[in-house]
Amino acid sequence: MNRYAEPRFLLCGDTGISVEFGNAIDPAINRQVQQLFGELIKRQLPGILGLNPTYRSLFIQYDPWQCSFENLLLAVEESLKATDDDTVTSAPLIEIPVSYGGEYGPDLDAVASFHGMTPGEVVRLHCAAVYTVYMIGFTPGFPYLGGLDERLHTPRRKEPRKVVPAGSVGIADRQTGIYPIDSPGGWHLIGKTPVRIFDLEKADPFTIHAGQSLKFKPITREAFESHQHP
Amino acid sequence: MRAISILEVGPLATIQDRGRFGFRDRGVPVSGAMDQQALMVGNLLVGNEVGAAGIEITLGGFKAEFLGDVHFAATGAAQAPRLNHGPIRNWTCHCAKEGDVLSLDYARFGLRSYLAVAGGMAVPNIMDSRSTYLRGGFGGYQGRAMKKGDILPLGEMFGKPISAFPTELIPPYAEQPTLRVIPGPQDDYVTAEGIETFLSSLYAVTSRLDRMGVALSGPLIELRRGADIISDGTCAGGVQVHGNQQPTILAADCQTVG
């Protein structure tokens, strides 16, 4: 694992910095990212326009008219000290129901045959793991999940799809994720959830947040179709 | 009711304010005006708060009728505004009477102009912003680009209009602008020759340009270790060099990570 002894501060233009904790996709590195993210949210510094926890860094967008670069660095260093105790916050576990295969998961059979297993085994392995939400990005609410079983690591599709329907659950390389809105995509689609993980009708439009833990639960096609949206 | 009626939209017209801040950890792009200065000055001219929502007009070919007496200003690229056939100055506040028609021609240089109207565009505030995010289908007017026939209600008047903006402060919209850059955060993936090439060459804007990014074409930029980097946070103005060794400037609707 490539975790730095001291985080690196990297300039991102004149309104952003990136605090980089390592050079790998790794749970311990991401935990440091999430801790700094949580600490900065708690502090509510004026002039911070947005925070973006990613796999191994925290991107901070700021307004230099409200918060100078120097003051931002001081605040981040103080926040890093405050998180030194390495306290692990217990994130609530979210369960996402998924109907696997068929028209909802058109690539399930291809993924299974790529690994020389049955579609049922792919589903079993995909549902057995507890995933960490490393970051949200690509489209509103799209979770990048770490913790995919090595036996399911699959290179991306050669031909990305122009439209992947919202709710689709995909696998690409070492990751798995859920498409919140219809968008282009190159991941293998193995199933679909009836949960609208990005829904502007809800008070909190986002079902999934960075830093949380997540599990998938297999459901039948009938259960998918009769799913009630809260 | 004070409102404006859209008669023609040109290639793309959307409602934008300064952007949707504070949601990037949930994957929501900032969006907002591509030319923030032009939108803000437009708002000040008509007596709005700087962050009021205006219409961002791409290239030109836009026409709208004022339903009610309304102060307005057209800023940004010089799209030769006309009010009922008579040419008017841009970067200047004008008062339209009920039934007046504003039309914008195509700009010679510069791509986007802004129509700021006293009171701003009274569209719903979604996640603290009125900006349209086209890919997500939300914000602005019903989450989409403006169409002929749309009627946009205007908000309450805020302050007093200012007559004009000093002409010497109008930014140049040049044929060959020079953009300033700050190196980082991953410039160590580019060789010293690559950086030199990037800073000394002329790059052409390709047809792959939209509110998400502007793909450029020019001399190849030499990369040190290939372009495979772990996805990090991104923001408008960032310059990415992809596997094809050509730079792309990220724009207002760019993904939050990439």
Give the one of B127, B237, B257 whose C-beta lies nearest to A52's C-beta. Answer: B257
C-alpha A181/C-alpha A200 separation (Å) is 11
B156 and B192 co-located in one domain: no
Strands (E), A75-200: 93-100, 131-136, 143-146, 161-164, 168-172, 175-178, 183-185, 188-192
The domain that contains B236 carries what CATH number? 2.40.100.10
B133 and B202 co-located in one domain: no
Q: Please list, in sequence order, all residues whose beta carbon lies within 8 angstroms of the beta carbon of residue A204, skipping any fewer than 6 positions away.
A: none
B207 and B80 co-located in one domain: no
Final residue before a domain boundary, out of B138, B169, B200:
B169
3-state secondary structure of A95: strand
B10 and B96 co-located in one domain: yes
In a domain, B181, yes or no: no
Cα separations in angstroms, A128 against A97, A173, B18: 13, 18, 44
In a domain, B174, yes or no: no
Q: What is the pLDDT along chain B (258 residues), one digit of tens a residue?
A: 799 999 999 999 999 999 999 999 999 999 999 999 999 999 999 999 999 999 999 999 999 999 999 999 999 999 999 999 899 999 999 999 999 999 999 988 999 999 999 999 999 999 999 999 999 999 999 999 999 999 999 999 889 999 789 999 999 899 999 999 999 999 989 999 999 999 999 999 999 999 999 999 999 999 987 556 788 899 999 999 988 999 999 999 999 998
B122 and B244 co-located in one domain: no
In a domain, B180, yes or no: no
Residue numbers in A near B232 (CB within 8 A): 18, 20, 54-57, 59
Which A-chain residues 98-137 have CB contacts (< 8 A) with chain B?
A: 135-137
Note down the domain range covering B230: 187-250
B120 and B228 co-located in one domain: no
In a domain, B191, yes or no: yes
B161 and B193 co-located in one domain: no
C-alpha B20/C-alpha B31 separation (Å) is 6
C-alpha A21/C-alpha A9 separation (Å) is 9
pLDDT for the residue B163: 79
Number of domains composing chain B: 2
Chain B: residue whose CA lies nearest to A57: B232
In a domain, B102, yes or no: yes
Chain A: residue whose CA lies nearest to B138: A200
0.85 surpassed by complex ipTM? yes
The verdict on a CB contact (< 8 Å) between B185 and A51 is no
> Which residue do the tokens 């219409």 mark?
B55
For each of the domains in chain A, give its residue range(s) and CATH number, in order of start.
Answer: 3-82 (3.30.1360.40), 93-225 (2.40.100.10)
B95 and B193 co-located in one domain: no
A51 vs B: CB within 8 A:
yes
What element of type H or E holds A8? strand A3-11
Residue numbers in A near B24 (CB within 8 A): 50-52, 59, 61
Chain A: residue whose CA lies nearest to B254: A138
Q: What pTM does this model have?
A: 0.93
In a domain, B163, yes or no: yes
What are the tokens at B250?
């990220």
